[in-house]
Amino acid sequence: MKTVVSTKRVLLTGSNGFLGRVVLQHLLQAGYSITLGGRCAPLGWSGDFVQFDLTNPELLRKAFSRSQEFDIVIHAAGTLQKDCLSVNHVGTRNLLSEIGHRAAKWIQISSAGVYRNDYRSVVTESTLCEQITEYEKSKWLADQEVINGCNSYVILRPTMIAGLGMKGSPLRLFAKFVSYGFRPEFREDACLNMIHVNDVAAAVLHFCHPSLHDGLHGELILSDDIFLNEVIEIIERSLSISQPCRRIPDCILKNLAGLGSAIGIQSFNKRRYAILNNTARFHADRFRSLLAGWPLCGSRSAIHQVCASPTNIHQQ
């Protein structure tokens, strides 16, 4: 990405996270003036840092007691854990209450999980929202706080974010299967909804650019869907599998998922099978119309990165 010498001041939350670290690298390369915010600064960070806890309004108030103005707030902080409602939803509301009026532009990192997905449809920004999990609900509620509390905002809703350093995901599950000598066989139209972490960062940087006027608002899906059988083939090549893998037909996977549900296994049950045997497409055409040539890195590159070493596959 070309360096942009910018006087715009950016507040970035979640810089210790998988996506936040990559967004920070892109911001530094582009020459932005950056302040990081959160419970602790990233290791080795020597720039501006504001310490706060999103779930503690008093600490937020103290952290921003001095009049600090930001041209852009990039809110990438969040959690998948049990406290997701307090962190993702209430935390966003607390942060907006304290500094929302000080930011000319708010960039919210949400999730495509907020949309209704029957695993057999086409999902766009106009698809009705229907959250199932507590995490999805927390992201949807956080989005509503931004919509109601900001004059200038963009909400980015990526599907599964993949790349070097990612945590547990279907992609790791597939890689483990292949590394153990098994090849899951899915329907020809089964699809993995994912996006490279660098492509999400590129979308964030697009809306930070000094040439982009303030006053925008809207939601955007970020995805680079890929067929599951191609995913398995890429993993096999990446891991240099010399011997043919033992194939696991789709009907056996379905039966195993049914057994998992019957005995209470969370890692592979009927819901997980439905997610893996998904044929829905998450169209990112709206954002592609804004940034020509995007995605820049692509899901195939993310798969290669995850398979770069056995450690990446088997780490928890």
What is the rounded distance in angstroms from the CA atom of residue 267 to the CA atom of residue 202? 32
Can you read off the two tokens belonging to residue 244?
Answer: 């043919």
Q: Bigger pLDDT: 164 or 47?
A: 47
Provide the pLDDT confidence category of residue 315 given band limits of 50, 70 and 90: low
Work out the percent of the chain whose per-residue pLDDT is above 70. Answer: 93
Structural tokens at position 154: 């963009």
Q: Is residue 6's pLDDT more than 60?
A: no
Q: CA distances (Å), 91 to each of 10, 19, 49, 212, 271, in order?
A: 19, 18, 18, 28, 29
**pLDDT score for 137:** 96
Q: Phi and psi at residue 216, in whole multiples of 5°? A: -80, 160
Phi/psi for 206 (5° steps) reads -60, -40
Give the pLDDT band of residue 213 (cuts 50, 70, 90): low
pTM: 0.91
Domains, the chain: 9-161+196-223+280-293 (3.40.50.720)
Residue 215, pLDDT score: 61
Q: How far apart are CA 55 and CA 58, in angstroms?
A: 9
> What is the DSSP code (8-state) at residue 37?
E
pLDDT digits (tens, 9 = 90+) for 56-102: 999 999 999 876 789 999 999 999 888 999 999 999 999 999 998 88
Better-predicted residue by pLDDT, 264 or 133: 133
Which tops the pLDDT comparison, 169 or 9? 9
Strand pairing category for 246-248 and 281-282:
unpaired
The answer for residues whose C-beta is within 8 angstroms of residue 263's C-beta and 6 or more apart is none
Q: What mean pLDDT comes out for the span 52-56? A: 95
pLDDT digits 0-9 by tens, 219-247? 999 999 999 989 999 998 888 887 778 88
What pLDDT, on the 0 to 100 scale, is given for residue 177?
84
Q: How many CA atoms lie within 13 A of 50 on its CB side?
A: 26
